[in-house]
Structure 1
Amino acid sequence: MVEIGVKNHDIQALLLAHRIVHDVDAFVINRPSEGEYGAARSADKAKLEEIAAYIEKNTDGTARP
């Protein structure tokens, strides 16, 4: 995501990357009260499909969810 964002000057990709890192950080430090976007949660199938589709659309087709 970061690579896509930087390469294409794509704010949406950078925002999604931020949300993924934020979710992982909240999980690792065990502070769910700090907010969660659901971007890194595998139980949120719709969000994962959105992110996978975005990556697929913005890469050469080698990205896999």
Structure 2
Amino acid sequence: MSQPDAARRLGVSLARLGMLIANGRMTPAHNSASRAGVTIVSVQAEETWRANATIRAKIVRLLKDTINWF
């Protein structure tokens, strides 16, 4: 799945998607035209996590990801 499609499906910006990839939360992939994307399985796993995680878990994860980003 392309990165813009994945970001749209998850309701996040491309920058946030990049952060998720950089922190190992999404699995990067490339299509036959060598365009960067992510695996559909990792998008589905992220959707499931977001649907079931508490607000506290989401905030903690965002803080960890932000710190790791820098």
TM-score range, shorter chain: 0.3 to 0.5
TM-score by length of 2: 0.34
TM-score by length of 1: 0.36
- Report 1 or 2 for greater relative contact order, CA contacts < 8 Å, sequence distance ≥ 6: 2
